[in-house]
């Protein structure tokens, strides 16, 4: 291959991944806008029962129809987005707070502390969010807190591993050696040099984990371990829709599509951010 044939191809590929980011960002912004909108306006009160109007097909009054209790589907979907965002934010927050802390500790202290953190994260992988949620639900009963804690715990080793690996790379760079030579302590080096340099990787991972958390929350709510009625959530909507599959099949389509579009948006955004932060990866694809 010669130079001139390579350059246009790379450019077009870069445009392709940037397009991914834009599509992802649009989907995620739409979700955020809907969630914010739900605090001031929904077409109908989301939890208001209207039994005489149950299982109505789409109409001017109810754009996507009503469910088996007469609740407006559009309103339920809009309010349901709040739970997804809240669980995603808190679970990723828990994962980042503890995971990044442990990962940095492992990278700075090395030795047995590093070994302990790594073995602990190996071990935590034996407990996917669903298993933790099952254990917590058996003792404390199902609920939103149970699912948030279970998903949060699962995020800790993910962030611990990626933080340690990236921090080790940054700590071997010359500017860290220079900072150390100037007499800066490990704490300051970590906060002023290491953390800002691994922030991009952590943001990308957070976007992906956000998507994973939304999928996990939906599954837990579908199984009855997560959000409890009457709080609307997409997972619960799917559970209720499955019971009406023969009478109103479309009820099972909307909440699933909402979950899939949200996760797709977050994944595309994560991919796009990775390419923006590290263009070398784009060329390797």
Partner 1 sequence: MRHHKNLRARGRGGTDIGFFLFKRVASFVATLLAASLVIFLVLDVLPGSAAEVMLGDSATPESVAALSKKLGLDRPAPVRYLDWMRGLSVGDLGTSVAYNAPIAEIVGERLAVTVPLALMAMALTTVLAFALGLFAAARHGRAADVGVMAASQVGIAIPNFWFAILLILVFAVKLRWFSAGGFPGWSVEAGGGPGPALRALVLPAVALAVVQAAILARIVRSAVIDVQREDFVRTARAKGVSRRGVLWGHVLRNAMVPVLTIMGLQFANLLTGTVVIENVFSLPGLGRLVFQAIANRDLLVVRDVVMLLAAAVVVINFVVDLLYVVIDPRLRVQSA
Which residues of this chain interact with partner 1, rule CB under 8 A? Answer: 9, 13, 16, 119, 122-123, 125-131, 134-139, 142, 211, 215, 218-219, 222-225, 238, 241-242, 245-246, 249, 252-253, 255-256, 259-261, 263-264, 267-268, 285
CA atoms within 13 A on the CB side of 117: 26
In whole angstroms, give the CA distance from residue 134 to residue 110: 34
Query: 3-state class of 271 per DSSP?
Result: helix
Q: Minimal distance in Å, beta carbon 139 to partner 1?
A: 5
Name which of 280 and 285 has its Cβ closer to partner 1.
285
In whole angstroms, give the CA distance from residue 216 to residue 218: 5
Tokens for 281? 């990866």
Q: Minimal distance in Å, beta carbon 234 to partner 1?
A: 9
Strand partners, 127: none
The answer to whether 159 touches 96, Cβ cutoff 8 Å, is yes
Name which of 99 and 104 has its Cβ closer to partner 1.
99
Q: Minimal distance in Å, beta carbon 195 to partner 1?
A: 27
In whole angstroms, give the CA distance from residue 114 to residue 182: 26
Q: Minimal distance in Å, beta carbon 32 to partner 1?
A: 17
Name which of 112 and 246 has its Cβ closer to partner 1.
246
The answer to whether 35 touches 274, Cβ cutoff 8 Å, is no
Q: How many helices (H) and strands (E) does the chain have?
A: 11, 0
Q: Minimal distance in Å, beta carbon 167 to partner 1?
A: 22
Q: Minimal distance in Å, beta carbon 192 to partner 1?
A: 34
Q: Minimal distance in Å, beta carbon 215 to partner 1?
A: 5
Tokens for 214? 């939304």
Print burial letters for 89-123: b (CB count within 10 Å at least 16), e (below 16): ebbbebbbebbbebbbbbbbeeeeebeebbeebee
Name which of 105 and 268 has its Cβ closer to partner 1.
268
Name which of 44 and 127 has its Cβ closer to partner 1.
127
As a whole number of angstroms, the longest Cα–Cα distance in the chain is 77
């Amino acid at each position: 291959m010669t130079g001139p044939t390579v350059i246009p191809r790379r450019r077009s590929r870069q445009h392709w991944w940037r397009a991914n980011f834009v599509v992802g960002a649009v989907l995620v912004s739409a979700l955020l806008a809907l969630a914010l909108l739900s605090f001031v306006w929904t077409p109908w009160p989301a939890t208001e029962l209207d039994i005489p109007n149950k299982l109505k097909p789409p109409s001017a009054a109810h754009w996507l129809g009503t469910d088996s209790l007469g609740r407006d589907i559009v309103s339920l979907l809009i309010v349901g987005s709040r739970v997804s965002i809240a669980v995603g934010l808190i679970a990723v927050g828990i994962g980042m707070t503890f995971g990044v802390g442990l990962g940095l500790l492992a990278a700075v202290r090395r030795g047995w502390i590093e070994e302990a953190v790594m073995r602990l994260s190996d071990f935590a992988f034996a407990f996917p969010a669903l298993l933790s949620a099952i254990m917590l639900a058996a003792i404390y009963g199902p609920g939103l807190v149970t699912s948030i804690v279970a998903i949060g715990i699962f995020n800790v080793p993910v962030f611990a591993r990626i933080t340690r690996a990236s921090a080790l790379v940054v700590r071997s760079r010359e500017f860290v050696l220079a900072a150390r030579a100037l007499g800066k302590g490990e704490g300051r080096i970590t906060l002023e040099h290491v953390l800002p340099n691994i922030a991009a990787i952590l943001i990308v991972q957070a976007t992906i984990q956000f998507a994973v958390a939304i999928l996990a929350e939906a599954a837990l709510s579908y199984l009855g371990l997560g959000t409890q009625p009457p709080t609307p959530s997409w997972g619960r909507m799917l559970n209720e829709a499955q019971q009406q599959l023969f009478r109103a099949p479309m009820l099972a389509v909307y909440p699933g599509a909402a979950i899939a579009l949200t996760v797709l948006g977050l994944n595309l955004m994560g991919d796009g951010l990775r390419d923006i932060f590290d263009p070398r990866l784009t060329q390797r694809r």
